[in-house]
Chain A
């Protein structure tokens, strides 16, 4: 950590709120190299031997511990495909903070494709926080394609909180979650695109066991000429409940598509989907202007609240 430059520290702040060496287990990947690692008594991080990436093994019963695994790229033209596997022991309760920051000051594409697979043991709970951030004065594109697969054993719970606010030129997100009996899925996805950025989010949740449930809240803002496409899909193969809510604010000449699917494969599957796309309502802007904000300030407050 001490070798990291101010630029790299800024990326770490943006994606992981890290201002210093994190407590607990961590693995920092910078430009494909190991920038720092710490395993703890209960959380062991090791380098994969067959492909790029790491294995994170969390002992059963580990509670109130965290794992930080930020990725930073500052080299223009650098691309990588990384596989991170998480083995979360039964009855654990941990927070995993991932995220990728790219600073591209050159003219070549910088790209991070991360495949994260979670094997969550019986009655274990994880909160997975993922932030994507891009910056840099270069013309080279900043691309991030995260792929997340979660296997929930009986009674396990995953809370996914993902956000990508500005700076990433192109993203293709893939999320697949499989829940056994009593499994619980909570996904909060926040996305803001601008300029000519494109974003595609492909999400599939399979509720396979009785008593499993899922709640998905997707909020996005598409500005300028950016384009977003959402494919949230839930399949209920047991007595289960799912609620998917997708809200998008469209601005400028942006394009947004929301293409939901709910598939029931069981008579007691209760699946709900709500989707809405619209511009900021005129009366919302006017209300905040009557409280003394300018139109631009009002717009910023509305967007900040929406994506909070």
Chain B
């Protein structure tokens, strides 16, 4: 479904060029739930953005169902069936929650349909359906609406970037159930960037990204004991040398 080879990305900073992705190789099979984890600044979000087309990598290949994505616009990738839930979603003055969910679904949703998506992210729907996505929403509310847009989009590849960030404990529990349910009931491939053990435990496969490289892949049970230990830190140091 998704095949990434030799993906590199660098940014210019005060000290010259800094490599964020140092040659990522990754394969994700259809219908799998993959959690990408690893230390902050390791390149996880950059990798996800490169798949969605939000950044342009310096080199490498990203194939989605055999189609090369490099060179395609964000819109084209979205229409091929890729969606991305922003880590820090934007606000829209004047745009209502139901409108955003309808854009995501590609058709006008009924209030009941919108409610169904909002319930899945732990929002009490009647209060939100006509709300504008503006500064009156808290960070956690905004984040949950962002996740609901991905659920409404229902693409064949859903990427969630730290969906748990800013979300309270009760909603987090609802969210993990939702991920589990989508994974069980649909063919969609799900990639979640997360630091949360409960989300990592949902994964068919965990990918550890550190220092701009995939340092380890495996089952949650194999990877979890190593998160935060010296091996990870060394991987970062190695990458920085």
> Which residues on A are within 8 Å of B, measured CB to CB?
219, 247, 281, 283-284, 286-295, 301-302, 305-308
Contacts and interface: CB of A to CB of B under 8 A. Distances in A.
B75 A294 contact: yes
Contact of A305 (B79, B84, B88, B94): B94
Given A219-B93, A301-B99, A305-B96, 20 more contacts: A247-B93, A284-B92, A288-B103, A289-B73, A290-B52, A290-B54, A290-B74, A290-B86, A291-B83, A292-B75, A292-B78, A292-B106, A292-B153, A294-B75, A295-B75, A301-B95, A302-B92, A305-B99, A306-B93, A307-B94
A186 B83 CA distance: 41
Contacts of A294: 75
B37 interface: no
B194 interface: no
A261 to B, nearest CB: 24
Contact of B95 (A219, A283, A286, A302): A302
Given A287-B89, A290-B84, A291-B149, A308 B94 contact: yes
Interface string B153-168: 1000000000000000
Interface string B8-52: 000000000000000000000000000000000000000000001
A111 B8 CA distance: 61
A284 B103 CA distance: 13
Contacts of B94: 219, 305-308
A283 B93 contact: no
Contacts of A247: 93
B45 to A, nearest CB: 13
A290 B83 contact: yes
A293 B92 contact: no
A305 B89 CA distance: 17
Nearest to A297: B75
Specify which of A288, A289, A290 lies most central, judged by the most chain B CB atoms within 10 Å of its CB.
Answer: A290
A286 B74 CA distance: 8
B90 interface: yes
A307 B88 CA distance: 25
**Residue from A284, A287, A305 whose CB has the most chain B CB atoms within 10 Å:** A287
Contact of B104 (A291, A295, A305): A291
Contacts of B54: 286, 290
A176 B41 CA distance: 55
Contacts of B153: 291-292
Interface majority SS (helix, strand, loop, mixed), chain A: helix
Nearest to B54: A286
B75 A281 contact: no
B145 to A, nearest CB: 11
Contacts of B83: 290-291
A287 B86 contact: yes
Contact of A283 (B75, B90, B96): B90
Contacts of B75: 289, 292-295
A51 B78 CA distance: 61
Contact of B90 (A281, A305, A306): A281
Q: Which 9 A-B pairs have the closest CB atoms?
A: A305-B95, A305-B94, A289-B74, A283-B90, A306-B94, A292-B78, A284-B90, A291-B104, A289-B75
A305 B153 CA distance: 20
Nearest to A289: B74
A305 B103 contact: no
Nearest to B103: A291
Interface centre among A292, A293, A307, A308 (most CB of B within 10 A): A292
A192 to B, nearest CB: 13
A289 B78 contact: yes
28 contacts: A219-B94, A283-B86, A287-B86, A288-B103, A289-B73, A289-B75, A289-B78, A290-B52, A290-B74, A290-B78, A290-B84, A290-B86, A291-B83, A291-B103, A291-B153, A292-B75, A292-B78, A292-B103, A292-B106, A292-B153, A293-B75, A301-B103, A302-B92, A302-B95, A305-B92, A305-B95, A306-B94, A308-B94
B105 to A, nearest CB: 9
B38 to A, nearest CB: 23
